[in-house]
Amino acid sequence: MVTNRTVDTVFDILREAAPGWSAPVVTQMASLSRDPYLVLIACLLSLRTKDETTGPAARRLFALADTPEAMLTLTSAQIEKAIYPVGFYKTKAQTVLEISRLLVEQYDSRVPDEIDELVQFKGVGRKTANLVVTLGYQKPGICVDTHVHRISNRWGYVTTKTPEETEMALRKKLPPSHWIEINDLLVAMGQTICHPTSPRCSLCPIEKYCAKIGVVRSR
């Protein structure tokens, strides 16, 4: 079981192993540009869409427009064509335009750096808001998606039922030095090794620390 006595060691091991795994696409985009606007839009495109689809779609869109002002020169149809086939591409095209317009008209084109304000935007949940704050502004935050939720519970580090409960539990328990990196590490781990069903425990570098809660079958 991962505890606060072993969590630093676990993160050291994961950090060393991570270069061999595929980084989440939003993190890849952020490594090219820390522009909070690009991080925000890439996050929105990634929702319910596989990374291999999100990455090319985001690059096509940003080749056309990479600021709120430039985005507003595009039509919804142009954005739809650029981001297809991301999930719900028609709805996301409208959301991209609405958020861009809001930023220009009310925020002087600057993306807010506070989670509570970001979640007021259409289509922006806590996962997206935390990613913008951490990747775009390098401010403390804990982005919890299905991978972070599943794995931190599988470790036995937290006992929660929803990603939002997991975020709050981690904010109370996880050392702040690991807040920003937890999403990158656990998403990469979840996509590569710690699958929802039949995780590849024989290849896991931290197997001896994991309580394997809920694991029925593994490889």
Band of the pLDDT at 31, cuts 50, 70, 90?
Answer: low
Report the share of the chain in percent with pLDDT over 90. Answer: 92
Catalytically annotated residues: 127, 145
Which pLDDT score, from 0 to 100, does residue 34 have?
A: 83
Whole-prediction pTM: 0.89
Which of 137, 172, 194 is a domain's end point? 137
Q: Are 18 and 63 in a shared domain?
A: no
Domain boundary among 86, 109, 137: 137
**Structural domain harbouring 89:** 35-137
In three state form, how does the secondary structure of the chain look? CCCCCCHHHHHHHHHHHHHHCCCCHHHHHHHHCCCHHHHHHHHHHHCCCCHHHHHHHHHHHHHHCCCHHHHCCCCHHHHHHHHCCCCCHHHHHHHHHHHHHHHHHHCCCCCCCCHHHHCCCCCCCHHHHHHHHHHHHCCCCCCCCHHHHHHHHHHCCCCCCCHHHHHHHHHHHCCHHHHHHHHHHHHHHHHHCCCCCCCCHHHCCCHHHCCCCCCCCCC
> 115 and 187, same structural domain?
no
Task: CATH number of the domain at 75, please.
Answer: 1.10.340.30
* Statement to judge: residues 107 and 179 lie in one domain: no
pLDDT on residue 133: 96
| Domain assignment of residue 73, yes or no | yes
> Which of 137, 155, 172 delimits the end of a domain?
137
pLDDT digits (tens, 9 = 90+) for 152-188: 999 999 999 999 999 999 999 999 999 999 999 999 9
Tell me the mean pLDDT in the region 135-148.
94
